[in-house]
Structure 1
Amino acid sequence: MSTKIIMDCDPGTDDAFSIAMAVASDELDIFGVTTTYGNVGLDHTTNNTLRILDWLGSNIPVYQGIDRALLGTLVDASEYHGATGLEAPEIGQPTSTPREKDAVSFLIDTLRSSSSKVTIVASGPLTNLAVMLRLAPDVVSKIERIVFMGGSTDYGNDSPAAEFNMLCDPHAAQIVFDADVPKTMFGLNVTHQVIATPQRVQAMRDLGNDAGRVFADMSVFFEKVYRERYDFDGSALHDPCTVAWLLRPDLFETRKMRVDVETNSGLSFGRTVHDIWNIAEKGCHTDVALSADADGFFELLTNLLSKLR
């Protein structure tokens, strides 16, 4: 039986990998894709989502979401992803358009009307989900799990303390962490183990199809900052860990713990704080990924890319 999912994302190079993997899989039933600001502004992230799905030949509906954080200033990552967020000219421009309904309304209506629980896969700032939870707390009973990329058990990437998605809207993230629903978190501590090395990129190219070539090129475009800042041997594929876990949870080690987000300190604003031993006795609703089988991840990724055009 397939897993019913809604994807909430801000494409972005690694989001493109997530979408492609989900579309290629026979095990995931995608109700829709909702967009949020993040890597670049909302207009670009929505356009990029449409570009990816059109190029893949998918008619999955797209719903445009919220364009800014609940509080604070707008942060983006265009210096890493390029001005448009997806420097992949072969994909071209979309022919489809987003649906008239906004993302939050789609999330609420879909969850309320679904005959079974739905998993939400989030790979950007969590603003859409936070607003959904505030406007319609009853939908919690219809959420199977929220699987998301964000935070870290140790360090940041957009500030010394905070990971980018959390820094974009830590107040929204705290609302999601407080929700009484199972969650699985993929932070930098584990996604920085999943590196698209030259050998792994070549394996994509060796598939001989358009998807292998285009996604290999995306990996190379994305890798500059990882080589310069972190001395990694390629780009880190953060967001696809969420989809990979849904398909192959055995590829990751997780540990259940309480997670909160720092929303007051200027020094640590956006940092995720992990209560490993439940010292605060708030309850542990988050399975935090700690390690990844990177070879297994790239074997799964390459196999899925082979099923595409």
Structure 2
Amino acid sequence: MSVTPKGIPIILDLDPGHDDAIALLLALASPEVELLGVTTVYGNQTLEKTTANALRVLDLVGRDDMPVAPGADRPLVRDLTVASHVHGDSGLDGPVLAPPTRAALDERAVDFMDRTIAASDAPVTLVPTGPLTNVALLLERTGGANIDRIVLMGGAIAEGNMTPAAEFNIWADPEAAQAVFSSSIPTAMIGLDVTHQAVTTPAVIERLVATGQVGAFVADLVEFFSVYHRETYGWDGAPIHDAVAVAHLIRPGLVTTVHRNVEVELVSELCRGRTVVDLWRRTERDANADVGVALDTGGFFDLLVERIGRLA
């Protein structure tokens, strides 16, 4: 009797958020990973709203078995700022979704992650796509025991989307981000340098709609998400930031990375949250992250459309 092998055990740490919702759907549709649970954090909206959004997306695809644990509702030391200017009042504006049919777990994210990781037969990969507060708190508690690696969406080598210098997830809680990059856990930084290569086109939207109900939902997400990016960048689409982090995990080779040192600026007001990447090895600092530098855009969207189609 043959046994179907399980995928890489992962926990998604999300702040849904349009691109977080798409990342969650991609993970659910991909046998390369075994999603052990979802934890939520403030970011694209308040914790209450991001948690509700995670539950609503899971309801959409009939996954009320997937545990959802709410986490940090504010940064470690900074004031709370949410990205409502991008994601709207609900954090998931655009498509119409019913209220969640269940409540989240009565267990905090760090407790859930600690318990779930300790119980896993194989080391667990963390995939955080929001501010890194939950992950920093977990590392402070456990030191990273039984964590295989961290594949995060955040940062950039040379641009920002919250300020000229910083990407939002890192800017929101730079102290948490620095704690993650300072840990001994292998870390991949999937930043704006590659996620800004994952911008949807009308042709991609047509392909998503053709896959069925879930694809049409994703297209509706992108339609709203595109408004900000059209006004800001002049793009006729939106970057699916967070799904690129999941795709990097399930399809090695889509994202090209280089092993480099990454430090987070904590002091400068002008450059708060900048990920200072030693791309050309100008310092003697040890490399501590695999930094995304290029994306196979066509391959990424082929994968996304095919997997979303599986959920139809």
- The two structures have a TM-score, normalised by structure 1, of 0.96
- Counting aligned pairs with the same residue, the percent is 43
Amino acid at match of 1:136: T
Q: Is the counterpart of residue 288 in structure 1 residue 291 in structure 2?
A: yes
- Displacement of 1:90 in angstroms is 3.5
Task: Trace 1:17-32 onto structure 2 (pairs within 5 A).
Answer: 17-32=22-37
28, 31, 40: which is aligned to 1:35?
40
* 1:174-253 matches, cutoff 5 A: 174-207=178-211, 209-253=212-256
Q: Count how many residue pairs are aligned between Structure 1 and Structure 2.
A: 306
* Counterpart check, 1:308 vs 2:294: no
Query: Residues 139-178 of structure 1 correspond to what in structure 2 (within 5 A)?
Result: 140-178=144-182
Q: Give 1:82's aligned residue.
A: 88
Instruction: Quote the offset at 1:113 in angstroms.
Output: 2.4
For 2:115, the equivalent position in structure 1 comes to: 109
Distance 2:203 2:280 in 1: 39
Aligned twin of 2:62: 57
SS of corresponding position for 2:241: coil
SS in 1 for 2:118: helix
1:148, 1:256 → 2: CA distance?
A: 15
Gaps of 5+ in 2: none
- Whole-angstrom distance in 1 between the partners of 2:155 and 2:92: 23
The offset of 1:281, in angstroms, is: 3.4
Q: 1:53-84 CA distances to partner (integer Å, 9 max, x unpaired)?
A: 11111121000001000111111111111101
Moved over 3 A (4+): 277-282
Matched AA of 1:174: Q
The letter of the residue matching 1:25 is S
CA distance in 2 between partners of 1:55 and 1:211 (Å): 8
Instruction: Tell me how large the CA RMSD over aligned residues is.
Output: 1.2
- Whole-angstrom distance in 2 between the partners of 1:169 and 1:282: 23
The answer for the alignment partner of 2:52 in structure 1 is 47
Distance in 2 between the 1:113 and 1:249 partners? 27
Aligned partners of 2:311, 2:117: CA distance in 1, in Å? 29
User: Are the equivalent residues in 2 in contact too, given 1:54–1:94 (CA < 8 A)?
Assistant: yes
Q: Matched residues in 2 for 1:25 and 1:255: separation?
A: 25
CA positional deviation for 1:88: 4.4
Unpaired stretches in structure 1, ≥5 consecutive residues: none
